[in-house]
């Protein structure tokens, strides 16, 4: 069969021939040396993967054995009941201990679950009256900080402060009810002049809580005076 096209490169090239209206390329076989080198490379990669897998499995097995032995010792020697649902093994920075976590450098920080529970608490208090909201917040946040003030790394707590204050301003904005109520509240908080037109803004409460007028009206000191305290403000400032 006569070829229809042939490459003009310097090395051997396959022909393209026509079979029943379709084109098919007759590829040359790979040289035996290239095939052997490829097999050696794949064989090395498979051995490396197998070695890494064996190390991971051995480490997991040792961790499981150590955890099982510790549970037996606690239950047999100290007569303590181990809560298997709350027990586990893993890297220190990903593990929690009584609400705290310890990073690789040995620094104590607040655990992620404790931060999340504090966020959930604020959301759960939104159905309360203003007086109930203030009282329950003061009680809970004071006890929370008395417990977690042992934390040495307070970066997560500082980031949480901004989130809490913004939600407090959002709560005030929502409870002022309408443009007239918001205008009276802003004037009572010392806002005057053209900035009072903010009371007629139709943006969402979360966006309005970040507005500079709301931050001026409900400054950190003003929120604290109303009883919406954040106890670690003074601690982080020192």
Q: What angle do CA 138, 140, 141 make, to 5 degrees?
A: 70
pTM (2 d.p.): 0.59
Burial 55-86 (b: 16+ CB within 10 A, else e): eeeeeeeeeeeeeeeeeeeeeeeeeeeeeeee
The strand order across the sheet containing 15-19 reads 5-6, 15-19, 22-25
Rounded Cα gap, residues 93 and 95, in angstroms: 6
**CA torsion angle 196 201 203 207 (round to 10):** -10
Per-domain boundaries in the chain? 1-30, 37-82, 108-153+163-237
pLDDT reported for residue 229: 86
Type and span of the H or E element at 75: helix 32-76
pLDDT reported for residue 238: 43
pLDDT reported for residue 90: 60
Rounded Cα gap, residues 159 and 104, in angstroms: 21
Summarised one tens digit per residue, pLDDT across range 25-64 is: 443 444 544 444 445 555 666 667 767 776 766 666 666 6
DSSP codes of every residue in 210-224: TSHHHHHHT-HHHHH
Residue-wise pLDDT tens for the chain (238 aa)? Answer: 444 444 444 444 444 444 444 434 443 444 544 444 445 555 666 667 767 776 766 666 666 676 677 777 777 777 777 676 666 666 555 566 678 888 777 788 888 888 888 888 888 888 888 888 888 888 888 899 999 888 888 888 888 888 999 999 999 999 998 889 999 999 999 998 888 988 888 888 999 999 999 999 999 889 988 888 888 875 444 4
pLDDT reported for residue 2: 46
Cβ distance 112 to 94 under 8 Å? no
| Sign of torsion over alpha carbons 156, 161, 162, 166 | positive
pLDDT reported for residue 18: 42
pLDDT reported for residue 208: 92
pLDDT reported for residue 226: 87
pLDDT reported for residue 11: 43
């Amino acid at each position: 069969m006569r070829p229809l096209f042939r490459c003009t490169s310097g090395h051997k090239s396959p022909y393209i021939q026509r079979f029943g209206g379709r084109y098919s390329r007759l590829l040359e076989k790979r040289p035996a040396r290239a095939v052997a080198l490829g097999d050696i490379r794949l064989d090395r990669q498979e051995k490396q993967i197998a070695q890494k897998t064996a190390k991971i499995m051995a480490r997991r097995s040792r961790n499981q054995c150590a955890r099982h032995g510790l549970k037996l010792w606690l239950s047999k020697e100290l007569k303590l009941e181990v809560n298997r649902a709350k027990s586990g093994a893993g890297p220190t920075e990903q593990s929690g201990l009584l609400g705290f976590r310890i990073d690789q450098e040995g620094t104590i920080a607040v655990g992620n679950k404790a931060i999340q529970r504090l966020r959930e608490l604020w959301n759960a208090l939104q159905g309360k009256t203003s007086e109930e909201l203030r009282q329950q917040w003061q009680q809970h946040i004071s006890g929370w900080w008395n417990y977690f003030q042992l934390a040495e790394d307070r970066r997560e707590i500082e980031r949480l402060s901004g989130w809490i204050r913004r939600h407090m301003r959002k709560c005030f904005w929502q409870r002022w009810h309408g443009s007239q109520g918001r205008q009276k509240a802003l004037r009572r908080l010392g806002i005057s002049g053209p900035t009072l037109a903010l009371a007629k803004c139709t943006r969402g409460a979360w966006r309005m809580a970040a507005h500079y007028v709301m931050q001026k009206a409900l400054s950190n000191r003003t929120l604290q005076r109303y009883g919406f305290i954040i106890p670690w403000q003074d601690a982080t400032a020192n």
